[in-house]
Amino acid sequence: MSRAALAEEVNVNVQTIGALERGDHYPSLDLALRICDVFDLPVEAVFSRTEFGPLSAELYSRTKGQK
């Protein structure tokens, strides 16, 4: 998914997504939940004191239609 597509899905600008990816900005709880909804992930994937390990092939292969 492109930055632009994710930004549109969660209703933020593309620069916000870039800042999140670089670690320059941390998402609000609301934004984190919206991002998790898009990728069908637990909120711990965004908010965690420990590094969240690489996603399994199963998660990478999911599409929104398979929720």
pLDDT of residue 44: 81
Give 5-29 pLDDT, tens digit per residue: 999 999 999 999 999 999 899 899 9
Please give the tally of structural domains in the chain. Answer: 1
Give the residue numbers spanning the domain of 48.
3-66
Q: How far is CA 44 from the centre of its chain?
A: 11
Global model pTM greater than 0.85 = no
CA distance 28 to 60: 24
Which CATH number covers residue 17?
Answer: 1.10.260
CA distance 25 to 49: 16
Task: Identify the residue whose tokens are 């909804």.
Answer: 37
Q: Is the pLDDT of residue 52 over 70?
A: no
